[in-house]
Amino acid sequence: MNSHYRVVVIGGGVVGTSVLYHLAKMGWSDVCLLERSVLTAGSSWHAAGGIHALNADPNMAALQAYTIDLLSEIEEESDQNIGLHMTGGLTMAGTPDRWEWLQSAYRVFQSIGIEDCRLVTPEEAQELCPIMSKDNLLGGMWADREGYVDTTGTVHAYAIAAKKRGASYFEHTKVEELIQTADGWKVVTDKGTITCEHVVNAAGLWAKQVGRMAGIELPVSPLKHHYLISDTIPQLEELDFEVPMTVDLEGFTYLRQDQKGVLLGIYEVDHEHWAMDGAPWDYGMELFQEQTDRIEHELICGFERYPALQDVGVKTWVNGAFTFSPDGNPLVGPVPGKPGYWCACAVMAGFLQGGGVGKSLAEWMIHGEPEADVFCMDVARYGKFAENQRYIRETTGQFYSRRFVMTYPNEQLPAGRPLKMAPAHDAMTAAGCKWGNSWDLEVPLYFAPEGFEETPTLKRSNAFDIVGEESKAIREGVGLLDITGFSRYEIGGPNAEQWLDKIMASKLPGPNRARLAPMLSPEGRLKGDLTVLNWGDGTYWIMGSYYLRAWHMRWFNDHLEDGVSVRDLGEEMCGFGLAGPKSKAVIEKLAEQDISDLPFMGCRDVDIGPLRAKVARMSVTGELGYEINVRYGDHIALRRLLLEAGADQDIRECGFNAMLSTRIEKTFGIWSAEFTQLYTAAQTGMDRWIDWDKGDFVGREAALKEKEGNGPSQLLVTLQIEDGDSDASGYEPIWNGDDRIGFVTSGAYGYTVGASLAMAMVDREFAAEGTELGVHIVGNLRKAKVIAASPYDPKGQAMRG
């Protein structure tokens, strides 16, 4: 063991060894892995080892597909047998809602490029898995690329392949302390101290402790997980093929063959956490006693679904621990505020996702950005709020128990909520507000009559008419929207303007003006669809998506220069927005200064009644509007003042669902849908805001290369869809005949224009206005047509007043 390495990876499971391998493969061979016991100790050795390419998140699906492709390469490169069995897989549905969901999911998988799956009848499913009962089943989905691996062999294959490329790994070497230095980190072990530039926490069950060594509280917790391995099943002895991986969604079980028996795994509704502060250091190859009473319901379902189990014994019980994050996705990437410290933990499905995690982290570390959009597993998708133990317990438990439970697009889950609430939350609740969640904050969805409850559904819900009325109020009168759920960053210092000019691709606004500002990565991909406001006193604001606060602050701090300060105002500022043709009449009643000359995209300090406010004339609804920003302590008073001033204008409180409808009528994109770090400015139309004539800015070279080349292969368009009982929500496939040529980025019903609308990414040859296409929505093919952008008020006269 050397005294210095470029990178030290802590943890010898499937994720740690994958990170080690990918770093070496990409040219960083001066790297080592430290394992306090032996490779696979912890969770890897007892994992079920299942693999499949299906995932509702297209970016995660792509990383899983990469892992599956990599496995055979690793086996060949290492000359280590990994026991790869590609059996195919079945996912079964037993209720009408579940079957509808599965049909919809099938189309989403097509949309994200998974072509090797198909829907099957219960009879076809039973032919594929003869030991499965088809009782109470309505249908299923078959996928070719499913199977399982030998877990121990796979971990060793990664490690051996990494070693062949020059990397090193050391077993029985316990990390005891991490010390941050000016140049990186000191890793203190029981075998000596190593200095390094980068340290990777791939410690699995011990990720919590390894985080705390660096002063970091990671939102992770282990939970217990059961599976059993049966004795030999005579029916399997008679088959000349392996039965496929099979998931019974109603029974909370999954099954695969194990020699001539089966492995039956259970996601227990009655979940149980273990060692929330991290596993004991001497834990490694142990298991817990099975808890059959706790899993009785799921066991009964499993034995009924696979009747052959009723006639054989159980050869082995496995009750072991796996580490989960609040949403079940991994925690990967550089930790904000800790240069050189990287996470690769909470990878619940390590043998399925470990290859993609290793690839992405190595690319990130070496090249500064991963190839894929990895926000779904970025450690910066959480903030300080997620360090709370009760929050971790509730959210990880909710995810675990709902592992096979369908979640509807309009469904609000309760775990870890409510957490942060705007000051006027109680008053808004009394007014009928129904709440959603963004990061740690409760945000208004819509306002409903007393006693109203929304029904979870894939189709238009019973809140459809309520949202329509709020949209009408915005278009015809004035709507009042709580905008606490916008992020705000204050940029100051003598070099603030020069720094903003470099980090933003747009021209900067002049004094008392605001401007839309795309922010790019060096590779020319989007890092934000932001608004820059110049308050005229040398201070600027950046406004964007609330849930990206930690993610954007990491980016800002990584690019910070002398003479610049960046402050997140998310705990200090909040506000309300007015939107609609009567909004000016409301604000003029309260403004102590004359704002009649405040232009569209103008901003200035204004006294609103007795309150000091920062007011910007803009709105994402496409109407005349004002965003009024105040201190947290003024939120309640601001709401009261605006409601009183707007009483004679029939002011109506509205939520973000109405904003979604009105913004899509204007073809206004939003982050995580139309705008992601996978897309370029030219793909999304954000290049219209780039200032090509100014000096250098981050991403300029890559964006200019795209501009001067052939352009992007896909473009963002607006679709009008044949009306039905449902609207597009995202990732539905778009067809030209039998050819898939794109997918929906987001959709909603446009109440003003009276049409089901969507924004979509399509191949550029199909982007012309008038092109007729098809789109699957909730499993049904509907006609669609490319229409001109902004079907409502295309010239923008309303918002310009």
Q: Give the pLDDT confidence of 763-790 residue by residue, as tens digits.
A: 999 999 999 999 999 999 999 999 999 9
Torsional sign, CA 472, 473, 474, 480: negative
Section 165-186 average pLDDT: 97
pLDDT at 54 over 80: no
pLDDT (0 to 100) of residue 233: 98
Whether residue 320 contacts residue 164, with contact meaning beta carbons closer than 8 Å, is answered with no
pLDDT (0 to 100) of residue 326: 97
pLDDT (0 to 100) of residue 610: 97
Contacts of 486 (CB under 8 A, 6+ apart): 543, 544, 545, 546, 575, 627
**243 token code pair:** 């039965």
- Segment (H or E) for 212: helix 207-212
pLDDT at 56 over 80: no
pLDDT (0 to 100) of residue 295: 96
pLDDT (0 to 100) of residue 801: 83
- pLDDT category at 350 given cuts 50, 70, 90 is very high
pLDDT (0 to 100) of residue 616: 98
* Tens-digit pLDDT profile for residues 488-509: 999 999 999 999 999 999 999 9
pLDDT (0 to 100) of residue 406: 85
* Tens-digit pLDDT profile for residues 403-428: 988 889 999 999 999 999 999 999 99
CATH assignment, 4-83+150-221+327-379: 3.50.50.60
Whether residue 418 contacts residue 394, with contact meaning beta carbons closer than 8 Å, is answered with no
φ and ψ of 359, to 5 deg: -60, -50
Measured between alpha carbons, how far is residue 355 from residues 18, 487, 498 in Å?
A: 6, 34, 41
* Tens-digit pLDDT profile for residues 600-641: 999 999 999 999 999 999 999 999 999 999 999 999 999 999
Q: What mean pLDDT, rounded, does the chain reach?
A: 96
pLDDT at 710 over 80: yes
Kindly give the residue spans of alpha helices, DSSP state H, lying in 547-622: 549-558, 583-590
Alpha-carbon Rg for the chain in angstroms: 27
pLDDT (0 to 100) of residue 242: 97
In the chain, the amino acid numbered 187 is: V
- pLDDT category at 531 given cuts 50, 70, 90 is very high
pLDDT (0 to 100) of residue 744: 97
- pLDDT category at 113 given cuts 50, 70, 90 is confident
**382 token code pair:** 């959480």
pLDDT (0 to 100) of residue 24: 98
pLDDT (0 to 100) of residue 142: 97
The pTM of this model reads 0.96
Residue 571 is given by DSSP the state T
CA terminus-to-terminus distance, the chain: 70
* Tens-digit pLDDT profile for residues 732-757: 999 999 999 999 999 999 999 999 99
CA distance 430 to 417: 18
**226 token code pair:** 């059961």
pLDDT at 519 over 90: yes
Kindly give the residue spans of alpha helices, DSSP state H, lying in 230-289: 234-237
Backbone φ/ψ region at 416: left (φ over 0), alpha (ψ -120 to 50), beta = left
- pLDDT category at 475 given cuts 50, 70, 90 is very high
Neighbours of 38 (CB within 10 A): 15
